[in-house]
Structure 1
């Protein structure tokens, strides 16, 4: 099982969303995962749109331990960097966040992230970058207000991750004023093969309920 994340340098003007489920591919060279990128600069009309980046690339990796692979692709007008997390013995976590008491203050933006740990984080070599050292952004509101619905649900840009079934999922929320951190809270979940886990975070100005639904990774679309 692997998760895929694209690093982008155009934030907050270019924010990627997803994935909506775990990304899977075979480690067989004849059956790679194909990544397609089609980025355009919008013109006055569709016919005047210009290409920023267009590429099609196969991705394969294998191994007995979870680790992070990094690669970069250069096209005529841009350079794209990819981070690919190869996660073994994994389960899928679908995350939902809801404000249950208080409110998120005006003027503070939010950064919601997760990181994972597992067997591989305790058995690393100097040649491998472990998955647990990577923080995955679920929502970075930037200079905008945190998107909260009338029922308190927070609209995450991404809410699905994968983790080793013997590890931990560390969910973290930062409230910032500009670049200054005002509050930082986190909570730890232990993976399950099914069912759900619930935890609460007290930010001081509001309380949030974090719900994680666990499931085995399915090979079916």
Structure 2
């Protein structure tokens, strides 16, 4: 019988160095995973002036590895479409569908004066369907939608 891979979710990290550069490659192997398509939309208020922000996601099974979804631009503005949808740099992530596992969507915002605002949502992975929640950064409310689909396991 052939190698079926790791029995637990894990992260692999390789660093390749040459005379002129270094490349770091990091990837995760998440067993029994489902696909999570994330979308975000500002539904009330506006992003706070002077705040730099980062939106990320992580899974419980690989808790120390955050996947960056988007960050504010050089003017500390959210990249928004006309309808308030946030233009994410990454939409699709995977999460383990075992009991006790979750997908966490986070926002961290840092103000000019050292003020920090953060919020987070936990979503229990599903084989299919859609879940919603709301992140709040000061007076800005952001609706987060996660659409789930099953990945065929080998």
State the TM bucket, normalised to the shorter chain: 0.7 to 0.9
For residues 101 and 191 of structure 1, what CA distance do their matches in structure 2 show? Answer: 27
Work out which of the residue numbers 104, 107, 123 in structure 2 matches 1:189.
123
Q: CA deviation at 1:202?
A: 2.4
Query: Which aligned pairs between 1:1-221 and structure 2 lie closer than 5 A?
Result: 62-118=5-61, 131-141=62-72, 143-144=74-75, 145-166=77-98, 167-178=101-112, 180-217=114-151
For residues 65 and 179 of structure 1, what CA distance do their matches in structure 2 show? Answer: 43
Q: In proportion to residue count, which structure has more strand?
A: 2
1:71–1:83 contact (8 Å) kept in structure 2: yes
- Per-residue CA deviations over 1:129-158 (Å, capped at 9, x if unaligned) read xx2211111112263321112211011111
Three-state SS of the structure 2 residue aligned to 1:143 is coil
Q: In proportion to residue count, which structure has more helix?
A: 1
Count matched residues. 149
Gaps of 5+ in 1: 1-26, 29-60, 119-130
TM-score when normalising by structure 2? 0.87
TM-score when normalising by structure 1? 0.62
Higher relative contact order (CA 8 A, sep 6+): 2
- Per-residue CA deviations over 1:65-85 (Å, capped at 9, x if unaligned) read 001111111234211011111
CA separation of 1:138 and 1:152: change in aligned 2, threshold 3 A: same
1:187–1:201 contact (8 Å) kept in structure 2: yes
Gaps of 5+ in 2: none
